[in-house]
Every structure is written in structure tokens, then in C-alpha cells.
Amino acid sequence: MYGRQVFTDKQLERRKAATLARRKVFTEMPVFESKFDHMTPQARESYFANERKRAKKVLQRRKRVTNFGMGVGIVIAVIASILALIPIFYTFINSFMSSAEISDNYGVIFQSLSGLSSSKGAGYIDRTPVLRLVPERVTFEQYKTLLFMSPTYLLKFWNSIILVVPIVLGQLVVSSFAAYSFARYRKKRREILFFSYVILMLMPFQVTLVPNYMISEKLHLLNTIWAIILPGIFSTFSCFLLTKYMRQIPSSYIEAAKLDGATEWQIFTKIALPTCKSAIFALAILLFIDYWNMVEQPLVLLTDKEKQPLSVFLSQINEAEIGIAFAASALYMIPALLIFLLGEEYLVEGISHSGLK
């Protein structure tokens, strides 16, 4: 016969705690004392009043720092905007000046530049140039000569349209299909191909200009518009931008469309393209501005001056036609400015959603 088991006080406490835990009976937690318990109501109210004052001062200090940062940012943005708008402003103002007035105001600058004067090289400015905000006599003679007296400007303008519009439209079509493939099917080979796209995008176009020239010569495309259009259609930047955008499309949309019996073409046209509408508009604006200002490609690939775009024409205007140069530059900026102003909302939304910084 076994003797009675004797438990110590600690063992009894543990057994009691275990029994209460099995029965879901919990002992009350010890109450911790606070420093406010020993305060009188007046002292407690005074303490809270001091804390509210301290918190108010901290918030005011943070607000001042935030306002100061915003003020500095606004001032920097305003200064940068003014510096960027000054050349555009003077270009439009000087386009309404006569050639004699432009020569009087800026002749000292042109004489000091190498290649724009009869001197052998560049020199120093011997007097201060005059920058007038308002012309002495407003004239439209430059615009009349440019648009009606000489067909060169309109010919170069349509050359630019013939080159830029097919590049933009073709690049949007090609990049849409390629970006959908990169975003939809993430396999090892396609990731390697996309990485090569990124590497090509990081290269300056001067690196690929020589291979494009050699290929165009082999295909007998040199001195034709296709020597510029075909390389432009298969550019890598648009594919990279749309791929980053399409990868943000929720997979649940595609799975729901597949359950409803949608094909890949229907998913592409009904889900992918409408979702990427802002990115496509932003890409069209960026491409138009980029190829509207191209100079090196036409100079290298188009030896016939009659086929060269307006951007090359502006770079070849000499000092004797400086008034026409201002008028041509003012008209040259209008298409790009209009497209940017009309599509500014799509441009900001498309770039912000694509994840580019």
C-alpha cells in the first residue's frame, strides 16, 4: 500500500494553475499603478495642459519645416521653369523682328561664334548684346517668306511628318504585341530576351547608327525613308515601358476572362490594351517629341537633302537668314508643344503607373 504523496507549496500552486487553465478559469492580472493615481485632479489637469502645449509646439515646428521645404521646392521649380522658358520666349519674340533689328541686337554674338562669321575662328564679345522684350516694329515678313515665298519649309515639314508618324504608329503596334508577350509568358528564354532589350535601351543610338547604316546599305535602303522608319519601329524603349505597365495588370482579370472562354486575342484587345491606354498615349507623346527632333539619323542615312526633315533644315540655316531661323524655330515648336499640352494628363498618369522615376 502506497503512502500518501506530499506536495510542496510551489507544486500545489502549479497544479492549481494547471487545473484552472483546463477549466478556462484565469486568475486576475495584477493591477499596475500609474503615476497619475497619486496625482490630485488639479495636478493631473496641469500635466495634461503642459503636454498639449508641448505637442502643439512640435506640430508647429514640423509644419514650419514642411512649409519651408515646400517653399524652397517651389522657388527652385519656378527658377528652373523661367530658365527653360526664356529661350522659347525670345524665339517667339524675335520671330516678329525684322532682320535688321535682329542683326543690331544679336550681331555681336554671331560675330563671336566660330563658323557663323567671316573671321577665322571664335572671338570675344566686345560689347553687351541687347535683348529686347518687345520688337521696335512688329513684322510678319519672315513668316511670309518662310511659308509663301519659299517652299523649302513646307517640304521639310512634310518630310518630318512622313518620317515621324509611321515610326510612332509602327512602334506602338510592335511594342504592344512584344510587351504583352513579355508580361504574359514569363519563361526563362523570354526573360533573357527582355534583358537584352534593356541592354540595348541603355546604349546610345550613336552606337547602333553604324550597324544600321551597314544593314541599310546591304538591303539597298540607304537614302530612303525606310532606312530611318524600320529601325525606329523596332526601338526598345516603348517595349520596356509597356512591359512594366502590363505586368501590373492583376492576374485575376485574365483568369476570370479565361473562365468566360476568352481567347488570347480577346484578352489582349479587351483587357490589356484598354488598361494600358494612358501608357500608350504617354508613349506616343514621348516618341513624337523624340523623333521630331532627330538630326543624326537623317544626316547619316539620307544623303539627299530633299528628303531630310525639318530638324536638319533648322541646323543648316546660316547667319544671313537668322530672321527666317527664328520664325522657322517658332513654327517648329508648335506641333510638339500642342501634343504635349493636349496629352499632359496621359503623360503624367502613364509614366507614374509604369513605375519609371
Inside any domain, residue 135: no
Q: pLDDT band at 305, cuts 50/70/90?
A: confident
What confidence score (pLDDT) does residue 356 get?
47
Q: What is the CATH number of the domain that holds 225?
A: 1.10.3720.10
Residue predicted with more confidence, 256 or 33: 256
CA angle 251, 257, 263 (to 5 degrees): 110
CA Rg value for the chain: 36
What confidence score (pLDDT) does residue 205 get?
76
Inside any domain, residue 71: no
Inside any domain, residue 70: no
Inside any domain, residue 3: no
At 187 the three-state DSSP class reads coil
Inside any domain, residue 316: yes
How many whole angstroms separate alpha carbon 89 and alpha carbon 69?
29
Concatenated DSSP letters for 121-145?
S-----SPPP--SS-SS---HHHHI
Is pLDDT of 312 > 90? no
Inside any domain, residue 131: no
Is pLDDT of 266 > 80? yes
Alpha carbons within 13 angstroms on the beta-carbon side of residue 146 total 25
How many helices, marked H, and strands, marked E, lie in the chain? 17, 0
Is pLDDT of 316 > 50? yes
How many whole angstroms separate alpha carbon 202 and alpha carbon 293?
19
**Out of 21-25, 133-137, 348-352, least confident range:** 21-25
Is pLDDT of 322 > 90? no
What confidence score (pLDDT) does residue 173 get?
92
Tell me the average pLDDT across 65-71. Answer: 92
How does the average pLDDT of the chain come out, rounded?
Answer: 80
C-alpha distances (whole Å) from 318 to each of 22, 324, 326 are: 98, 10, 11
State the angle between helix axes of 344-354 and 277-292 in degrees (0 to 180), rounded to the nearest 10.
Answer: 110
Q: What is the DSSP letter of 271?
A: I
Cα dihedral 62, 68, 71, 72 sign:
negative
Boundaries of domain holding 330: 142-354
Inside any domain, residue 273: yes
How many whole angstroms separate alpha carbon 257 and alpha carbon 249?
13
Cα dihedral 259, 262, 265, 266 sign:
negative
What confidence score (pLDDT) does residue 26 get?
54
Tell me the average pLDDT across 52-77. Answer: 91
Q: pLDDT band at 197, cuts 50/70/90?
A: confident
Would you tell me how many other CB atoms lie within 10 Å of the CB of residue 246? 23
What confidence score (pLDDT) does residue 32 get?
62
Inside any domain, residue 227: yes
Instruction: Give strand ranges (E) for the chain.
Output: none
Burial grade of 92 (CB within 10 A; 0-12, 13-18, 19 or more):
middle
pLDDT digits (tens, 9 = 90+) for 70-89: 999 999 999 998 998 888 88
How many whole angstroms separate alpha carbon 310 and alpha carbon 294?
9
How many whole angstroms separate alpha carbon 346 and alpha carbon 311?
26
Q: How many structural domains does the chain have?
A: 1
